[in-house]
């Protein structure tokens, strides 16, 4: 049972975004990392990204002073590493020690693999223009990118804005579970209304994606750098992280950045009792939790442990039809969000013209056949409406 959002690094004001704004630069001792990260667009355009990265000095990540610095370093090195792997016509099969050793150390401290994951791509990758204003579109910008440009920034910012607005729903989930324990159907109804209203709001943000991110530009300039090295046709054996003793010189396979690594939808599934059939898709969804910040994973686990909001609604639906309606509205909101996500996946990826194996249209950046998976997500969600 969740007692306090703070213990899971979650807030009603910002959801899964950090309570303090992400750090935008490391101390001067780590300037070589910042310089490479800042120059990525020019280095990629010139085809010189790998020589620049290979000239990096070996820096000691243990000298970073606090978690904000560690997260900033993880953002910078994750972008630099993916630029190194995917920034030239053929991907590499080894990551040099000056990059792999500190990247691995950072990942161990943060409790997730050394690969660009959603936490570094979105949650820790923004700043407010007006530090007194909210974290929302119009007042947030991206800290780190690959090639830059409106389309890449807008794609990231849509995700950041959704995460911020979703905080109200996360607080409402906790409130609903507490109300279940006190057998207060009116309170549960009120909290589910907030979940449904919040899902409507975040869906409206998602619908703004085409305003600043064109499908062709996304597929050709943004997506190529997001791939990982698990189930990828160009890197069937994975990648070697040089001088990382725990890997013993063996290639590692990690999945690339994908929205499935956001804790938001997994948390709402857990809260509403939306389950997925025991198959490869279900296994994949559980695996994606390994790429989430540990405390966010723990929040999902705590909500899953109950009490069950869905079971409570099933027990009270005859005497509290408004409770059932509020629950169904929340399920509908989640289903609509997934439907739009599926539509975008089709428009922004599946309909694009594949030019080579490095950026496949049939496999997502997480290394899965994403269209069947997303369709299954949507259909299974809709089936949880209560009559």
**Sign of the C-alpha dihedral, residues 179, 180, 182, 186?**
positive
Q: Is a pLDDT exceeding 90 seen at residue 321? A: yes
pLDDT at 366: 63
Report d(CA 163, CA 329) in Å as an integer. Answer: 20
> Residue 40 belongs to what H/E stretch?
helix 31-46
Model pLDDT, residue 284:
82
Res 368 pLDDT > 70 = no
The pLDDT, as a whole number, for residue 304 is 96
Helix (H) and strand (E) counts for the chain?
Answer: 16, 4
pLDDT at residue 221, as a whole number: 94
The whole-chain average pLDDT of the chain stands at 94
Of 132 and 354, the one with more pLDDT: 132
Q: What is the DSSP string of 68-97?
A: HHHHHHHHHHHHHHHHHHHSSSS--SEE-H
**Residue (of 104, 336, 354, 123) closest to 223 by Cα position:** 354
| Residue linked to tokens 């994750």 | 78
The rounded percent of the chain whose pLDDT value lies above 90 is 83
Cis bond before residue 125 (omega within 30° of 0)? no
What angle in degrees, to the nearest 10, is found between the helix axes of 167-181 and 263-272?
Answer: 20
What is the largest distance, in Å, between two alpha-carbon atoms of the chain?
70
Structure tokens at 174: 């906790």
> Per-residue pLDDT for 354 more than 80?
no
Question: Which pLDDT band holds residue 359 (cuts at 50, 70, 90)?
Answer: confident
Confidence at residue 365, expressed as pLDDT on a 0 to 100 scale = 67
This prediction has a pTM of 0.95
Helices 263-272, 309-316: crossing angle, 10 deg rounding: 30
C-alpha to C-alpha distance for 36 and 76, rounded to whole angstroms: 9
SS (H, E, C) 249-294: CCCECCCCCCHHHCHHHHHHHHHHCCCCCCCHHHHHHHHHHHHCCH
Mean pLDDT of 154-178: 98
Q: According to the model, what pLDDT value does residue 140 have?
A: 98
Distance of CA 92 to the CA centre of its chain: 25
The length of the chain is 387
Give the CATH fold of the 5-382 domain.
Methane Monooxygenase Hydroxylase; Chain G, domain 1 (1.20.58)
The answer to which of 41-55, 161-175, 300-314, 360-374 has the lowest mean pLDDT is: 360-374
Task: Please give the Cα distance from 41 to 76 (Å, whole number).
Answer: 13
- pLDDT digits 0-9 by tens, 322-334: 999 999 999 999 9
Q: Match 């161990």 to its residue by tokens.
A: 108
pLDDT in tens, 236-264: 999 999 999 999 999 999 999 999 899 99
Taking the CA atoms of 167, 7, 186 and 382 in sequence, report the sign of the dihedral they define. Answer: positive
**How many other C-beta atoms can be found within 10 angstroms of the C-beta atom of residue 17?**
24
Break the chain into its structural domains and give their ranges: 5-382
- Give per-residue pLDDT as tens, 58-84: 999 999 989 999 999 999 999 999 999
């Amino acid at each position: 049972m969740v007692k306090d959002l703070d213990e899971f690094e979650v807030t009603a004001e910002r959801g899964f975004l950090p309570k303090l704004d992400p750090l935008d630069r490391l101390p001067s001792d780590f300037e070589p990392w910042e310089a490479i990260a800042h120059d990525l667009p020019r280095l990629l355009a010139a085809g010189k990204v790998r020589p620049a990265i290979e000239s990096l000095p070996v820096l000691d990540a243990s000298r970073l002073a606090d978690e904000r610095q560690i997260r900033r370093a993880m953002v910078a090195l994750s972008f630099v590493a993916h630029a190194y792997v995917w920034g030239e016509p053929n991907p590499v099969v080894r990551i040099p020690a000056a990059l792999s050793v500190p990247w691995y150390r950072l990942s161990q401290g943060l409790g997730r693999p050394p690969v660009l994951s959603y936490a570094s791509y979105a949650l820790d990758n923004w700043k407010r223009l007006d530090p007194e204003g909210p974290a929302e579109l119009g007042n947030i910008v991206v800290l780190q990118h690959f090639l830059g440009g409106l389309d890449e920034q807008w794609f990231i910012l849509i995700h950041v804005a959704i995460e911020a607005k979703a905080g109200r729903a996360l607080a409402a989930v906790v409130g609903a579970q507490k109300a279940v324990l006190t057998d207060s159907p009116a309170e549960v109804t009120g909290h589910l209304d907030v979940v449904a209203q919040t899902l409507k709001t975040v869906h409206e943000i998602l619908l703004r994606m085409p305003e600043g991110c064109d499908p062709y530009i996304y597929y050709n300039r943004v997506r190529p750098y997001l791939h990982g090295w698990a189930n990828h046709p160009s890197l069937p054996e994975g990648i070697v992280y040089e001088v990382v003793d725990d890997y013993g010189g063996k290639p590692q396979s990690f999945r690339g950045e994908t929205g499935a690594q956001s804790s938001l939808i997994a948390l709402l599934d857990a809260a509403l009792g939306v389950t997925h059939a025991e198959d490869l898709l279900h296994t994949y969804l559980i695996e994606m939790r390994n790429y989430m910040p540990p405390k966010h994973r723990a929040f999902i686990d705590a909500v899953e442990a109950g009490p069950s909001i869905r079971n409570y609604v099933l027990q009270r639906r005859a005497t509290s039809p408004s409770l059932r309606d509020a629950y169904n509205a929340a399920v509908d909101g989640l289903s609509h969000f997934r439907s739009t996500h599926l539509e975008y996946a089709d428009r922004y990826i599946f309909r694009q013209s594949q030019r080579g194996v490095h950026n496949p249209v049939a496999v997502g950046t997480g290394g899965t056949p994403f269209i069947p998976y997303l369709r299954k997500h949507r259909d299974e969600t809709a089936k949880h409406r209560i009559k």
